[in-house]
Amino acid sequence: MKLFLSKIINYFYITGQAWQVVWLDIWHEWIGRVMVIINGILWLGSWVMASVLYFLGGSKLLILHYNVHFGIDFIGRPAMIYWLPLGLTVAIALNSFLPLVHYSAPRQLRLVILIGTLLVSTLVNVALGSLLFINFY
């Protein structure tokens, strides 16, 4: 049992060290640094917008999805608005380990992964901003 536990701890230690090496490699490039900073700002902004929607919603129902062709098609409690930034957090966490898998791949693949994460962050913020606009203006 001790050997098994030691192997698990060793695996997490080695994976953590490899993750740190990959992200330091990305951080040393100015475009990677800029994308990581912008992505962090968008991530924090999504949590702030979700919190604003939650507190402004109070105990009434909120429009959670609006379709141009069909109109309002999803209404729910204000606490359900936190699913969007939570999904963004999961996407960022999963995409933070993708460069580790593709470390031997060229630099462009790692930047494409960062651009994809940045696109998801932007779309979540656009969705939250439009929900804020639809519900309260």
Please state the pTM of the whole predicted model: 0.81
89 or 72, which is more confident?
89
Q: Which residues fall within 8 angstroms of residue 136, CB to CB, at 6 or more apart? A: 56
* Residue-level pLDDT at 102: 62
Pairing, β 71-76 against β 62-67: antiparallel
The pLDDT of 117-131, averaged and rounded, is 94
For residue range 19-71, list pLDDT tens digits in order: 788 788 888 888 888 998 999 999 999 999 999 999 988 888 888 888 888 88
- The pLDDT of residue 90 is above 90: yes
117 or 69, which is more confident?
117
Q: Give the number of other Cβ atoms within 10 Å of residue 58's Cβ.
A: 8
Domain extent listing, the chain: 2-136
- The pLDDT of residue 105 is above 70: no
* CA-based nearest residue to 39, from 130, 129, 113: 113
Q: Which residues fall within 8 angstroms of residue 130, CB to CB, at 6 or more apart? A: 66
Averaged confidence pLDDT in the chain: 86
* Residue-level pLDDT at 75: 86
